[in-house]
Amino acid sequence: MSEILTQQAVALSAVALPGIPLVQPGDHLTELILQALARADIRLEDGDALVITSKIVSKAEGRYVDLATVQPGEEALRIAAEAQKDPRIVELVLQESARISRLGHGVLVTQHRLGFVSANSGIDQSNIEGGDQRVLLLPLDPDASAARLRAELQAATGADVGIVISDSHGRPFRIGNVGVAIGVAGMPAALDLRGREDLFGRKLRVSVQAYADMVASAACLLTGEADEGRPVVLLRGLNFPKQDGRASDLIRAVEQDLYR
C-alpha cells in the first residue's frame, strides 16, 4: 500500500485585472492598476504578486521609434540582406544588443543589452498603434520600473507586493514562447533550493528555480500574446520568501554558459 503524505491543500489564484485601457506615453501605470483593482473589487494584500507585461511599461515610458527616423549603417544593411529583414529594424536591434547570438533567414537572435538572449532584442510591432512604420523597444531599465511601481503601489495601498515585468521569449530547443521576467522587485528572481531535503531526506545540491520566470509564465496563460487585452495579472497564494531580487539575477555567468 502506498504511503499517504499528510499535506495541506495549497491554492494559487490568478486574476487578470479588467479594464486596462490602451496605454499611451506618459500614462501613470500605478493609477491604471489601482483603478482596475477597484473595478474588480480587489484589495492588494501582503505577499501578492502583480505581473505586468513589458509592452504597457514600454508604452507608458514612450519607448516607440518611428522607422522613418532610423538610418541603417553598413553592418545593419549587411545583416538585413542575410536575414531578409527590414534594415531599419536591424539597426535598432543592433543598438539594443550586446552581440548577435544566431543569424539565419528570417531569424536574428541577440544578447540584449540587459543580458538575456531573445529574438530581435525584444523589438516588437504587435499590439501597437501606428502601423508598420512604428516599433516598440523594451523598457530602458525594467528592474527600476518594477521597483518604482512596487513603491507607488505600496504607498497607495500599504500592501507589500512583488512585481514582475514580463516578456515572451522563445527557447532554442523547444517550440513556442513562454513568459519570462525581465524586471523584478520585492520578490525573488532566482530561488536557491540547495540544502533543502527531498521527500526521502536527500539534500538538493543543484536545484535553483527561475522563480520569477515561472511567475511570469503562470500569468502569461491569462495575458496571452494576441488580442486578449489583459496586460496585468494578480497572483495570490505564492508564499514567496522576503527577498528583493532583480531580473539580472537570472542571467547565467559567461563562465557557466556551455552554449555561448
Reply yes or no on whether the pLDDT at 3 is more than 80. no
33: domain CATH number is 3.30.1330.100
**DSSP β-bridge partners for residue 167:** 180
The total of structural domains in the chain comes to 2
Report residue 191's pLDDT band, with 50, 70 and 90 as the boundaries.
confident
260: Cβ contacts below 8 Å, ≥ 6 apart: 101, 254
Residues 51 and 167 in one domain: yes
113: domain CATH number is 3.90.1660.10
Tell me what the mean pLDDT of segment 165-177 comes to: 90
Q: Specify whether the CB–CB gap between 85 and 100 falls below 8 A.
A: no
Residues 95 and 39 in one domain: no
Strands 117-119 and 107-112: antiparallel
Confidence at residue 43, expressed as pLDDT on a 0 to 100 scale:
97
Confidence at residue 2, expressed as pLDDT on a 0 to 100 scale:
57
Residues 111 and 130 in one domain: yes
| Residue 1: inside a domain | no
Q: What pTM was computed for the model?
A: 0.92
For the segment 247-258, what is each residue's pLDDT rounded down to a tens digit?
999 998 888 777
Burial profile 9-18: b = 16 or more Cβ within 10 angstroms, e = fewer:
eeeeebbbbe
| Distance, CA of 98 to CA of 138 (rounded, Å) | 14
For the segment 11-42, what is each residue's pLDDT rounded down to a tens digit?
899 999 999 999 999 999 999 999 999 999 99
Confidence at residue 189, expressed as pLDDT on a 0 to 100 scale:
95
Tell me what the mean pLDDT of segment 110-137 comes to: 89
Domain that holds residue 78: 64-137
| Distance, CA of 123 to CA of 136 (rounded, Å) | 6
Q: Which of 145-154, 229-238, 249-258 has the lowest mean pLDDT?
A: 249-258
